[in-house]
Amino acid sequence: MRELTTDVAIIGAGTAGLNARKEVEAAGKSWLLIEGGPLGTTCARVGCMPSKLLIAAADAAHEIQESWRFGMNVEPAGWSIDGKAVMDRVRRERDRFAGFVVAANDALPQDQLIRGFARFVGPTTLEMDARPGVPATRIQAGAVVVATGSHPWIPPVLRPIRGRVMVNDDVFEMTDLPSKAAVFGTGVIALELGQALHRLGVQVSFFNPGSSVGPLSDPEVKAKARAVLGKELDLHLGVDVRTVEAIGTGPIRIAWRDADGEEDEGLFDAVIAAAGRRPNLGVLNLEAAGIPLHGRGVPVIDVRTMQAGDAPIFIAGDVTGDRTLLHEASDEGRIAGSNAARFPDVVAGLRRTPLAITFTDPQIALVGQRHAELDLRNVEIGEVSYDDQGRARVMGKNAGLVRIYADRATCKLIGAELFGPRVEHTAHLLAWAIQQGLRAQDALEMPVYHPVVEEGIRTALRDLVGKLRVAGGCPPQDRADGPGE
């Protein structure tokens, strides 16, 4: 067996692992980077970037389809969607993004990039099975960073046809668009991919035994999203899928009972499982690491330091099952790598205000504390409807609801849930305001141009400040709030 020693062993060469490696190297410590899967991050290969490429094509098609609102006369026979060309661009640009990451890995010292799957056999001892041309390997590390990512989850009802089920990884390998697709799930990935396919001419039906729409938890915003998206998309919420069966090598038959008790069935060319992802923990043998685990086998960690218990083991990225987003994985990787290099002198790292965006149309965003996390006894909520907001109406995208939360005692902004046009931008403004500790009236003093969608945020802040003042907080400002919309 080959024996290797290092200051820090990093399991996983994705976003978190690569950032951890940089921190270890910057600290002057030795490292080994271990990867058993394909190189290139989840974001570049099968996540953020290819999904946005597909959405960009769908947005272009939708603008043409909706141009009648502005007096355009687009005859259906005058244009068409070339599914092969759409998917060819998605794959080409996806490969370009992923290629940058692969090239960066190729530039690393190849004796420090170890290919294969590692497992714990002791607190900081790892073993890897032999591979063709490579003997079995034992690695003794001073500290370990686990950044193994996540994988798509397949609902049990689909497992009998597993060979025919696509996950988000597979969607971007399609060479053409299907005619009819069933999407299982109505979360972030499901809505982004499903709406994009729908706008590219695919007949898409969504199936979810629950009632969730995206990541929303605010009942008012969720209801609005469900109503607006339900006008465009074939959403089956609270559904009981009875049978899923492949008809030979042909279509897949799905039979279901809707929430109202109505029975139905349909034939689909493609079935996409987009019901969430699970941490990649299977081969790690974490029990041998001697760290505390949740009932489902996920490590218990301090999210400020990324440390598991008091061990020299640090967990980062999607494998935590917590904030499964690229910018969070980057931060977690940096914190984990820095602390692994300096162990046992572990320190808390910067954790930014939570910010999550779903690139549907209208978009969805969560900032700071979600509604489900609030103690409503101590919170005031300001809101704005985008149904008649000026700039949104000008663009023909006047649909949505935004609710902003503030602490009643301090008047500080603490969170928001957004559903509306271009909230990917307005959500950033709120995230910055929350991280800066601004009070609602402080944010209301910030400049806003006219006419822009940001004026909607100002309307919500005015509503919020008014409610806070009624509750006895937020003394009046010395100057006017600015012109009305």
Q: What is the pLDDT of residues 425-447, one digit of tens each?
A: 999 999 999 999 999 999 999 99
How far, CA to CA in Å, does 220 sit from each of 27, 379, 381? Answer: 48, 16, 11
CA angle 476, 480, 485 (to 5 degrees): 120
Q: What burial class does residue 34 get, using C-beta atoms within 10 Å of its C-beta: 0-12 exposed, 13-18 middle, 19+ buried? A: buried
Supply the DSSP symbol for 273.
Answer: E
CA-based angle 347:351:354, to the nearest 5? 160
Residue 178's nearest CA partner among 158, 157, 206, 204 is: 204
Single out the residue of 45, 132, 46, 61 nearest to residue 97, CA to CA: 45
Query: Do the bridges between strand 355-358 and strand 113-115 make them parallel or antiparallel, or are there none, so unpaired?
Result: unpaired
Report how far residue 59's alpha carbon sits from residue 88's, in angstroms, rounded to the nearest whole number.
17
Residue 379 belongs to what H/E stretch? strand 379-385
Say how far apart CA 240 and CA 290 lie, in whole Å: 41
**pLDDT at position 76, please?**
66
Report d(CA 332, CA 324) in Å as an integer: 10
Please name which of 57, 75, 305 lies closest in space to residue 177, comparing C-alpha atoms: 57
β-sheet bridge partners, residue 122: 125
* Distance (Å, whole) CA 337 – CA 146: 10
Intervals of CATH 3.30.390.30 along the chain: 355-470
Rounded to 10 degrees, what is the CA torsion of 287, 43, 366, 373?
0
Output the pLDDT for position 210. Answer: 93
CATH of 355-470, one of 3.40.50.970, 3.30.390.30, 3.30.70.1400, 3.40.50.1860: 3.30.390.30
346-399 pLDDT tens trace: 999 999 999 999 999 999 999 999 999 999 999 999 999 999 999 999 999 999
pLDDT for res 50: 92
CATH number of 156-275: 3.50.50.60
Task: Kindly report, residue by residue over 150-185, the tens digit of the pLDDT.
Answer: 999 999 999 999 999 999 889 999 999 999 999 999
d(CA 133, CA 276): 37
Predicted structure pTM score: 0.93
Predicted pLDDT of residue 5: 97
Which residues are paired to 327 by β-bridges? Answer: none
DSSP state of 310: T
| Spatial distance between the Cα atoms of 401 and 225, rounded to a whole number of angstroms | 8
What would the two tokens of residue 372 be?
């489900």
Instruction: Report pLDDT for 134.
Output: 83
- DSSP three-state, residue 281: coil
**Eight-state DSSP code of residue 461:** H
Angle made by CA atoms 245, 247, 248, in degrees to the nearest 5: 120
**CB neighbourhood size of 478 (10 A):** 6
- CA–CA dist 31, 8 (Å, integer): 5
d(CA 380, CA 429): 19
Rounded percentage of the chain residues whose pLDDT exceeds 70: 97
**From CA 437, how far away is CA 443, in angstroms rounded?**
10
Instruction: Report pLDDT for 28.
Output: 97
DSSP three-state, residue 448: coil
- Average pLDDT for residues 133-137, to the nearest whole number? 88
CATH superfamily membership of 2-37+116-152+278-342: FAD/NAD(P)-binding domain (3.50.50.60)
Least Cα distance to 386 among 357, 424, 421, 360 occurs for 421
Q: What is the DSSP letter of 206?
A: E
User: Where does the chain hold its CATH 3.50.50.60 domain(s)?
Assistant: 2-37+116-152+278-342, 156-275
pLDDT at residue 397, as a whole number: 95
- Write out pLDDT tens, residues 1-53: 899 999 999 999 999 999 999 999 999 999 999 998 888 788 877 888 999 99
**The pair of three-digit structure tokens given for residue 450, joined into one six-digit string:** 């006219």
